[in-house]
A and B are shown apart, each in its own frame.
Chain A
Amino acid sequence: MTIAEHVSHRTQVSRRDFIVGSAAALGGFSLGFHVPFGREAAAQDAVREINAWVVVNPDDTVVIRIARSEMGQGTLTGLAQLVAEELECDWSKVTTEYPTPGQNLARNRVWGSFATGGSRGIRDSHEYVRKGGAAARQMLIQAAANAWNVPASECRAENSVITHIPTGRTTTFGKVAAAAARLEPPQDPPLKDPKDWKIAGKPLKRLDTAAKLTGKQVYGIDLKLPGMLNAAIKACPVFGGKVRRFDAAAVQNMPGVKRVVQVGDNAVAVVADTWWRAKTALDALPIEWDEGPNANVSSATIAEMLRAGLDADDAVVGNQRGDVRAALAAAAKRVEAVYSYPFQNHATMEPMNATAVWTPDRCEVWTPTQNGEAALAATAEAAGLPPSKCDVHKLHLGGGFGRRGAVHDWVHQVVAIAKQMPGTPVKLIWSREEDMLHGRYHPVTQCKLVGGLDAHGNLTALHMRISGQSIVAGIFPQNIQNGRDPVVFQGLNPGGAEAAFGYTIPNLLIDHAMRNTHVPPGFWRGVNLNHNAIYLECFMDELAHAAGVDPLEFRRRLMANHPRHLAVLNAVAERAGWGKPAPAGVHRGLAQIMGFGSYVAACAEVSVSDDGVLKIHRIVAATDPGHAVNPQQIEAQVEGSFVYGLSAALYGECTVANGRIEQENFDTYQVMRIDEMPAVETIVMPSGGFWGGVGEPTIAVAAPAVLNAIFAATGKRIRDLPLKNHDLRKA
Chain B
Amino acid sequence: MARLNVNGSIVDVDVEPDTPLLWVLREQIGLTGTKYGCGIAQCGACTVHVDGVATRSCALPVSALTEDQKIVTIEGLSPDGSHPVQRAWAELDVPQCGYCQAGMIMAAAALLKDNPRPTDADIDVEITNICRCGTYNRVRAAIKLAANGGRTG
Q: Could you tell me if A673 and B99 are in contact, using CB atoms closer than 8 angstroms?
A: no
A216 to B95, CA, bound (A): 14
Q: CB within 8 A of B45: which of A349, A431, A636? A: A349
Q: Could you tell me if A74 and B96 are in contact, using CB atoms closer than 8 angstroms?
A: yes
Q: Could you tell me if B39 and A215 are in contact, using CB atoms closer than 8 angstroms?
A: no
Cβ-based interface call for B149 (8 A): no
Q: Could you tell me if A213 and B23 are in contact, using CB atoms closer than 8 angstroms?
A: no
Q: Could you say which residues of chain A place their CB within 8 Å of the CB of B99?
A: 219, 348-350, 398-399
- Among A45-53, A257-265, A506-514, A641-649, the stretch in contact with B: A641-649
Interface size class of A (residues with CB under 8 A): 35 or more
- Among A33-41, A89-97, A114-122, A663-671, the stretch in contact with B: A663-671
A73 to B134, CA, bound (A): 11
Question: What's the minimum C-beta distance from A275 to chain B, rounded to whole angstroms?
Answer: 7
Q: Could you say which residues of chain A place their CB within 8 Å of the CB of B33?
A: 214-216
Cβ-based interface call for B55 (8 A): no
Q: Could you tell me if A432 and B20 are in contact, using CB atoms closer than 8 angstroms?
A: no
A673 to B128, CA, bound (A): 6
Q: Which of A389-414 contact B (CB under 8 A)?
A: 396-401
Select from chain A the residue with minimum beta-carbon distance to B126.
A674
Question: What's the minimum C-beta distance from A654 to chain B, rounded to whole angstroms?
Answer: 15
Q: Which of A678-704 contact B (CB under 8 A)?
A: 679-680
Select from chain B the residue with minimum beta-carbon distance to A223.
B32
Select from chain B the residue with minimum beta-carbon distance to A666.
B42
Cβ-based interface call for B102 (8 A): yes
Cβ-based interface call for B138 (8 A): yes
Q: Could you tell me if B38 and A665 are in contact, using CB atoms closer than 8 angstroms?
A: yes
Cβ-based interface call for A305 (8 A): no
Q: Could you say which residues of chain A place their CB within 8 Å of the CB of B27?
A: 230, 274-276
Cβ-based interface call for B16 (8 A): yes
Q: Could you say which residues of chain A place their CB within 8 Å of the CB of B36?
A: 221, 351, 429
Q: Could you tell me if A209 and B90 are in contact, using CB atoms closer than 8 angstroms?
A: yes
Q: Could you say which residues of chain B place their CB within 8 Å of the CB of A658?
A: none
Q: Could you tell me if B134 and A399 are in contact, using CB atoms closer than 8 angstroms?
A: no
Q: Could you say which residues of chain A place their CB within 8 Å of the CB of B138?
A: 636, 639
Contact with A along B124-137 (1 / 0, CB 8 A): 11011111111111
Q: Could you tell me if A215 and B34 are in contact, using CB atoms closer than 8 angstroms?
A: yes
Known: A213-B90, A276-B19, A674-B124. A640 touches B35 (CB 8 A): no
Cβ-based interface call for A252 (8 A): no
Q: Could you tell me if B137 and A347 are in contact, using CB atoms closer than 8 angstroms?
A: no
Cβ-based interface call for B116 (8 A): no
Known: A73-B96, A398-B98, A666-B40. A642 touches B132 (CB 8 A): no
Cβ-based interface call for A7 (8 A): no
Q: CB within 8 A of B128: which of A213, A642, A674? A: A674
Q: Could you tell me if B132 and A213 are in contact, using CB atoms closer than 8 angstroms?
A: no
Question: What's the minimum C-beta distance from A203 to chain B, rounded to whole angstroms?
Answer: 9
Q: Could you tell me if B129 and A214 are in contact, using CB atoms closer than 8 angstroms?
A: no
Cβ-based interface call for B52 (8 A): no
Select from chain A the residue with minimum beta-carbon distance to B76.
A215
A640 to B133, CA, bound (A): 5
Q: Could you say which residues of chain A place their CB within 8 Å of the CB of B129?
A: 673-674
Q: Could you tell me if A210 and B35 are in contact, using CB atoms closer than 8 angstroms?
A: no
A672 to B77, CA, bound (A): 27
A208 to B96, CA, bound (A): 9
Select from chain A the residue with minimum beta-carbon distance to B143.
A674
Q: Which of B86, B90, B127, B130 has the most A CB atoms < 10 Å from its CB?
A: B130
Select from chain B the residue with minimum beta-carbon distance to A398.
B99
Q: Could you tell me if A399 and B130 are in contact, using CB atoms closer than 8 angstroms?
A: no
Q: Which of B37-75 contact A (CB under 8 A)?
A: 37-40, 42-43, 45, 73-75
Cβ-based interface call for B12 (8 A): no
Q: Could you say which residues of chain B place their CB within 8 Å of the CB of A161?
A: none
A412 to B45, CA, bound (A): 27
Q: Could you say which residues of chain B place their CB within 8 Å of the CB of A72?
A: 95-98, 133
A12 to B130, CA, bound (A): 28
Cβ-based interface call for B2 (8 A): no
Q: Could you say which residues of chain B place their CB within 8 Å of the CB of A222?
A: 26, 32
Known: A349-B37, A396-B98. A224 touches B136 (CB 8 A): no
Q: Which of A602-659 contact B (CB under 8 A)?
A: 632, 636, 639-644, 647
Q: Which of B109-149 contact A (CB under 8 A)?
A: 123-125, 127-140
Question: What's the minimum C-beta distance from A673 to chain B, rounded to whole angstroms?
Answer: 6
Contact with B along A251-275 (1 / 0, CB 8 A): 0000100000000000000000011
Question: What's the minimum C-beta distance from A345 to chain B, rounded to whole angstroms?
Answer: 10
A680 to B89, CA, bound (A): 19
A632 to B123, CA, bound (A): 24
Cβ-based interface call for B4 (8 A): no
A280 to B20, CA, bound (A): 11
Cβ-based interface call for A71 (8 A): yes
Q: Could you say which residues of chain A place their CB within 8 Å of the CB of B102?
A: 212, 215
Cβ-based interface call for B153 (8 A): no
Select from chain A the residue with minimum beta-carbon distance to B19.
A276
Known: A213-B86, A215-B74, A219-B99. A431 touches B39 (CB 8 A): yes
Q: Could you tell me if B75 and A665 are in contact, using CB atoms closer than 8 angstroms?
A: no
B-side interface residues toward A, CB under 8 Å?
A: 16, 19-20, 23, 26-28, 30-40, 42-43, 45, 73-75, 77, 81, 86, 89-90, 93-102, 105, 123-125, 127-140
A-side interface residues toward B, CB under 8 Å?
A: 71-74, 205-206, 208-219, 221-222, 224, 230, 255, 274-277, 280, 347-351, 396-401, 429, 431-432, 632, 636, 639-644, 647, 665-667, 671-675, 677, 679-680
Q: Can you identify 17 A-B contacts, CB atoms within 8 angstroms?
A: A71-B97, A73-B96, A212-B101, A213-B86, A213-B89, A215-B74, A216-B33, A219-B99, A224-B32, A277-B16, A348-B97, A396-B98, A429-B36, A636-B93, A639-B138, A672-B136, A673-B128
Given A214-B77, A671-B130: 14 more A-B contacts, CB < 8 Å: A72-B98, A210-B81, A211-B98, A212-B98, A213-B89, A213-B105, A214-B75, A224-B32, A275-B23, A350-B35, A401-B132, A432-B40, A639-B135, A641-B134
Q: List the 7 shortest-distance A-B pairs measured between CB atoms, nearest first.
A: A215-B33, A643-B134, A640-B134, A72-B97, A398-B99, A212-B98, A72-B96
